[in-house]
Structure 1
Amino acid sequence: MKVLIVDDEILVRKGLSMGIDWDELGFDDVKEASNGVEALAYAMEHEPQLVITDIKMPKMDGLELIEKLKAHCPDTIVIVLSCINDTDYVRQAMKFGGAVDYIPKLSLSTEELAAIIKKSKKLIKFSEGALEDSLSKPKVYLTKSVEKAIMNGLVELNKEKIISSLEHLFDALEKDQVQIRNFMEWQELLAIFSSFAKKQGGNIQEITCDKKLPVTFLQDSRNIYHMRERWFIFLEAYWSYLKGVRVKQYGMEIEKTINYIHQHFNDTIKLGDVAEYVGINENYLCKLFKKETGSNFIDYINHLKINKAKQLLKEGKYPVYLIAEMVGYNSESYFSRIFKKVEGMSPKAYQRQNDR
């Protein structure tokens, strides 16, 4: 049987191709591809039984590859390689039946990788119709609503909201008697806290729980009940750390201003609206913002919007006019002017440069 490993990072590809005993798993032909275009060309000619693919890649990303594999190689089983910040993409890949499982890149042992591959291999013997009837996809516990509630709790500094969301999550896991080895979404959950800490000028790696980094502390959980307990220990440590970062970095007014800007980056942000939200005079807000952040109010907003736009441009999925709207600019030409001012090139030039 043939397996194809698709990832633009050579170390990831080699780690999978050389770190797994493929012969023992029944695969005698292991090939690699560095992007979706190469992978699709190989798959259409050789029809591998198993494809393991990353999501974010140049030329053709994993989602497009999965869609094309469904059309041209319907019997091929697909497993998604998941980075810690790929939650939405993984959910999309699995929601539409294109992928049967996912492999988190972070802290997964060779034994766990082999177990996922063995489970997926059992599906190869099914016909396409039988596969649709027989396939039991992993249930998603870290849902959009849970993610949103946690993010809102962080932005609002509402610890009770976060506790409630975590309680709801672990209640569902315990009710379904989920084995800890099957709950890899904890890594995606940790990414939410990590991302927010970075936005506040902190780093989750500076936090320790029982003298361990958070990822190690949580990974060492014996079962779901133990992990639940450890998540709340981590939350206490995280909350204390976050308070220290916030106090050290900004005062209350600018902290609220920055939170508002990040929440509404895809809208037209007006100084008057922000000043009213914060509860201070517009002129005073401008002076205070410059003093504490070192940046003008408008420059800060534009840099944030342009950074969001750059992420969308790299994906290569949307036209420039739509990206302008998505980051809160009503005019494509104005967006292009601001983009060029910040980046030194037009959005289209930036997109071409990153279309490797």
Structure 2
Amino acid sequence: MIKVLIVDDDKLVRKGISSAMPWNEFGMEVVGEASNGAKALDFLESNSVDLMLTDLAMPVMSGIELMRAARQLYPELHIVVLTLHQDFDYIQEALRLGAIDYIAKVQLEKEQFEHVLNRIHTRICELANTRRKLPLLGETNVHYRKVYALVSLDRKSGQIWPIELESNVDEVRFEVERNSWMWATALNGEDQLFDRLKGYLDQIPQGSLLLLSDVQERTWSQIQNWIINYTESSLFYAYEPQDPVIAVSMNEEDSFPIEPQDEEMDRIKRSWFLSPWTHNDHYYNQLVEEFKSLRLQKGQLMGLLYSLVMEWNHLFAQTTLGRISMIHSFQSWYEVEQWIKQTSESIRKADEQTSYSQEMIDGVKKAVMIMQNDLDQAFTASGLSQQLNISRSYFSQCFKDIMGKTFNDYSRYIRMEKSKEYLLNTNNTIFWIAERVGYTDEKYFSRIFRELTGLLPSEYRQLGRGDK
């Protein structure tokens, strides 16, 4: 007998289907009912079921969510969808998830019962004659030397692949997770399977085909989890849209640092601001490799890029060097590298708008970074121009034209801006703050601060904090 579970949040529908349809005529019996997907999974865990009829729109756990979970846990379970006629999109998704048929509730009239059950019974018999019994996830793979996995970096958008994946009777196929599947087949079928899966790649957004070796003597669950971990980590850096086929061994292990070292981050920052990477291929490639070698996780990488862009725009947005745009989202290192390339072109175009040589522009950038990094030092235009091997008068003129302020005005401006941060965010004394921004005389510092802000440092702190 084919054991049937009926899942619908409407009790009348469940009772109607259970009592009215001629189950016995087709070798079927209803062994259980459930009002939502979660209760259905509980029933499946402790009862043998061959066929599940499920509604799609249910509270707690929808029919689509139930199908995903049930197909992973019980791959031999046949699923038929109960739906209203307007649920066409859900029907398409259900069929892609492996439903063998669907029943529109408006068809559930007495004269239709026999026709509906006959159609379902015929389909189950056809599958029984052609379907190869899948191993359980806990079983060990001893037969297959390779596993092929179709995965996508676009794992969060909710898009459904616009293709219907196929499997031959002599192949093993598991759903790894949403938009991620794995196959295995005998040695003589590997080339055919590879060609078929490779043909799907053009239709899968940011898709890759993984050729996974060293998979024997591992459980299918271990293989599944390895693919999930690889997709979340290493695939980010391995993905190339021009070559989306990736051969990888399960013996390879990911080794991401928990946190990047400070010296590594400082090296990136120095390269970004001080090296001529925007117009020199050698320095550009070096910067890209420095980024990539950190193997930062996606969130860490976004944080680093954000800090670089924010600091650049803080320093140069109001100058002829211009503002750069932040990358708002990315799925792979390839996209990050494309953004770095576009940013390089943007900076280079801004540089070309000035009448100065690239060497002079880079000299001004270096001067700005030196001043920003050592605010407690009393830099002068004469000292910095000598350090950069540029004549003082020419350096002063270039600095003013590029940065929009004279050297002295800019030096005073950045020191006062930093002192404002200290005043609002620390309880340190005015003397301490003055020293940290390059003033050894507290009274002179306070006079300069009032000239620029109209307030004494103590008044600025009090007003900014809302003190009474």
**TM-score w.r.t. structure 1 length?**
0.49
**TM-score w.r.t. structure 2 length?**
0.38
* Higher-Rg member (1/2): 2
Higher helix share: 1
Higher strand share: 2
The structure whose RCO (Cα within 8 Å, separation 6+) is larger is: 1
